[in-house]
Amino acid sequence: MDVNTTELAKILGITRRYVNILADKEGLPKKGRGKYDTSKAVPWFIEFVKAEIEKKYKKKLEKVSSADPQTRLNNYRADEALLNLLERQRKLIPVDEQLQVWKNETLSIKRELYGIPNKISHKCLTAQSKNEINEILTHAINNALEKYANGTIDIPPANTWDNNLPDTLQNGNRPENISQTEAKNKRK
């Protein structure tokens, strides 16, 4: 999904200025001037944050390694307690869990958008003009996106996604309905 700088900043929980700094100096992948592909930018940002944390932690380890064993043990226990507390408070969430949530939400959006043709095809058949069809399509897409923005799309548990989706949907291609395929074959 393509987004602008402001939208990406909201998704990542950072400022627009920091998005621009990351793009200019750190290599945040851009799709164009002020445009970003979230499927590339979000995983890049997660890896960037991991690397930054590792750098800070490495410096701390170097500092601690010069201390006596009891001090190192106390620091380790304090760090472990802090990490456990942050995990229990859900302020520290594993990367794999975050990526799975992102994947599920993206698939949910795809499902909602792929359902639009079935919901509006009868309206388009009765439309009197190209503008009327355009309005029907725009209204349906806006409703789907608004539904997602308001958090009203139900996201099933992660383990049910792979069982219900055809391979073509997972690859980003729209599968044809079996009855539509049969109808095309009969016409030939």
Contacts of 86 (CB under 8 A, 6+ apart): 92
Q: What are 37's strand-pairing partners?
A: 2
Which one of 36-40, 57-61, 182-186 scores highest in mean pLDDT? 36-40
Mean of the pLDDT values across residues 164-188?
44
The answer to whether the beta carbons of residues 168 and 108 sit under 8 Å apart is no
pLDDT score of 153 more than 60: no
Indicate whether 49 pLDDT > 60: yes
With cut-offs at 50, 70 and 90, classify the pLDDT of residue 154. low
pLDDT at position 5 over 50: yes
Widest Cα–Cα separation across the chain = 83
Comparing 20-34, 57-71, 103-117, the range with the smallest average pLDDT is 57-71
- Mean pLDDT for the chain? 77
The stretch 11-15 carries a mean pLDDT of 87
Burial per residue of 147-182, b for 16 or more beta-carbon CB atoms within 10 angstroms, e otherwise:
eeeeeeeeeeeeeebeeeeeeeeeeeeeeeeeeeee
What pLDDT band is residue 95 in, cutting at 50, 70 and 90? confident
pLDDT for 171: 39
Q: Is the pLDDT of residue 141 over 50?
A: yes
